[in-house]
Structure 1
């Protein structure tokens, strides 16, 4: 079941056509088919009717959905599984309006499902592994373009790096390793990113993030922004001066931040073409979504699907999202 590659939403619908099949899959992924109490891991567990279990130590009942993003949901698990497949495999994401139509549920319910899923996407961005080798750092800004706003809604002095009307996102990309075999580049590992939403792009915001992610003495490539100044003592820091229209160091073509710019390009096209708007409150969740898909892009459809479900034991309540 785990190794089967689902090449289409139709195959997911066939494989997980019933609630029972979905529950069996969750029990295999979460527990390896040996029930574990969410209240006391070492407690003896009694099997009850209706896919329920009882924790001997606490005396409480639970199911495989308890404490996960499926906890207390009124939507059938087959629809959840289809939603997970869609959002993990659509390169630029899927809107709540479109998901609601695809699953025949309300837009409000679809939005809640997507936000619960995005909370689980954060596992990839939060994972505690350090970057090394050659890394690129950059910032990008998300929000509507001032030139496209109505005259009454234009924000003065908001050009360039001003973020009065935008939200800054700071990212670091670790390039993949490769070797040359018979004159051809063979990838040994693929590039990965980590991103955070920042209050600003000052050094006190950028540099602690970089230091928390990068191993000392790594190669760090950035643009000329003053927020990166002072990192030379910790890293082999190279600067590409975008202000002078320099995008590659011609003395050393490896010195560029074009890979990070490519990641921003995917996010921008997603923002403009799919979502159209992200609130400041929830933007980190959307960033986590893109980091997840980028970092796991080499996995096949079912591996991405199962990786998310295996790490979906995060319950998000509607009140948490709306207050």
Structure 2
């Protein structure tokens, strides 16, 4: 099943016509014939009826959905698979209203499904970039003056949150929400995500200046209308910002600071798997589903 290529919704429905076919696919992806207990990875596992297993050391029962985004869900796996397909294949994402209509579920259920799916996108945050790397910061969010009168924040000019992005030419992008754009904050994140052997390209923002001590750092001066100087430019990362902001404004309309990183991770996942087939991207996601969040945790605060 894993090697089967499905590049459309019709192919996906044909590949997974039943709940059991979805379970079999998940078991092969997660365990490949060697079932591991989520309660004790060293424990012997007994095979029980109804796709259940028993952990010998803890005495607990589990299945392939335990401790994943599918845990304790009442929505059938076929709809989950379709939802994941729609989220990962749509370049700018999909709203909970549209997903609810497509899957014939309530908007509340679709929002919770999307939120659980987003918990699993941040799989490249710990990788490092090399060669030619572009770095740039942007601000995402709305302005305080556009809020309703009863929702305005006193002493605040806007509700924008800074995000730092780093992209390796012809490679991956890393994007992280940051508390501010000071030298200390930017340098910590760049040193964590970019190897010292890389060539670093940024604009002339003062917080990047001291990075010359570590990197072969070159600058384009946007304030002087200089956008490309040979191989030095930040057009690649700015192209990613364009995708992110068009998706948030056009599809989601709004995202709070609390959940912003999850939306950023969603766009990072699609960008970093842009050369993969639809089936490969779908299976890559299913291999990273052990990041469950409850509804109460999600809405808290």
TM range (shorter): over 0.9
**What per-residue deviation string (whole Å, max 9, x for no partner) do you get for residues 171-229 of structure 1?**
001112xxxxxxxxxxxxxx210010011111121110000011114211111111112
Measured in 2, the distance between the counterparts of 1:151 and 1:62 equals 48
Are the structure 2 counterparts of residues 265 and 156 from structure 1 closer, same or farther at C-alpha, using a change threshold of 3 Å?
Answer: farther
Alpha-carbon shift at residue 123 of structure 1 (Å)? 1.3
**What per-residue deviation string (whole Å, max 9, x for no partner) do you get for residues 257-314 of structure 1?**
0001100011111011111101110000000000000001000000000000011112
Q: Does 1:81 align with 2:42?
A: no
- What is the aligned partner in structure 2 of residue 25 from structure 1? 25
- What is the aligned partner in structure 2 of residue 140 from structure 1? 138
Query: How high is the TM-score relative to the length of structure 2?
Result: 0.94
Are the structure 2 counterparts of residues 155 and 43 from structure 1 closer, same or farther at C-alpha, using a change threshold of 3 Å?
Answer: closer
Measured in 2, the distance between the counterparts of 1:274 and 1:235 equals 38
Q: Which runs of 5+ in 2 are unaligned?
A: none
Aligned length: 299
Query: How high is the TM-score relative to the length of structure 1?
Result: 0.88
Helix, strand or coil at the partner of 1:171: strand
- What is the aligned partner in structure 2 of residue 39 from structure 1? 39
- Indicate if the aligned counterparts of 1:171 and 1:196 stay in contact, CA closer than 8 A: yes
Q: Does 1:300 align with 2:294?
A: no
Measured in 2, the distance between the counterparts of 1:319 and 1:84 equals 22
- What is the aligned partner in structure 2 of residue 198 from structure 1? 178
Q: Does 1:117 align with 2:128?
A: no
Helix, strand or coil at the partner of 1:230: helix
Q: Does 1:243 align with 2:223?
A: yes
After superposition, the CA RMSD in angstroms is 1.9
Q: Does 1:264 align with 2:215?
A: no
- Indicate if the aligned counterparts of 1:3 and 1:303 stay in contact, CA closer than 8 A: no
Are the structure 2 counterparts of residues 67 and 154 from structure 1 closer, same or farther at C-alpha, using a change threshold of 3 Å?
Answer: closer
- What is the aligned partner in structure 2 of residue 218 from structure 1? 198
- What is the aligned partner in structure 2 of residue 183 from structure 1? none
Are the structure 2 counterparts of residues 56 and 154 from structure 1 closer, same or farther at C-alpha, using a change threshold of 3 Å?
Answer: closer
- What is the aligned partner in structure 1 of residue 158 from structure 2? 164
Helix, strand or coil at the partner of 1:291: helix
303-312 vs 209-218, which moves further: 209-218
Among 289, 292, 296, which residue is 1:315 paired with?
A: 292
- Indicate if the aligned counterparts of 1:69 and 1:316 stay in contact, CA closer than 8 A: yes
Alpha-carbon shift at residue 164 of structure 1 (Å)? 3.5
- What is the aligned partner in structure 1 of residue 66 from structure 2? 66
- Indicate if the aligned counterparts of 2:136 and 2:166 stay in contact, CA closer than 8 A: yes
Are the structure 2 counterparts of residues 288 and 102 from structure 1 closer, same or farther at C-alpha, using a change threshold of 3 Å?
Answer: same
Measured in 1, the distance between the counterparts of 2:47 and 2:267 equals 39
Are the structure 2 counterparts of residues 23 and 150 from structure 1 closer, same or farther at C-alpha, using a change threshold of 3 Å?
Answer: closer
Helix, strand or coil at the partner of 1:122: coil
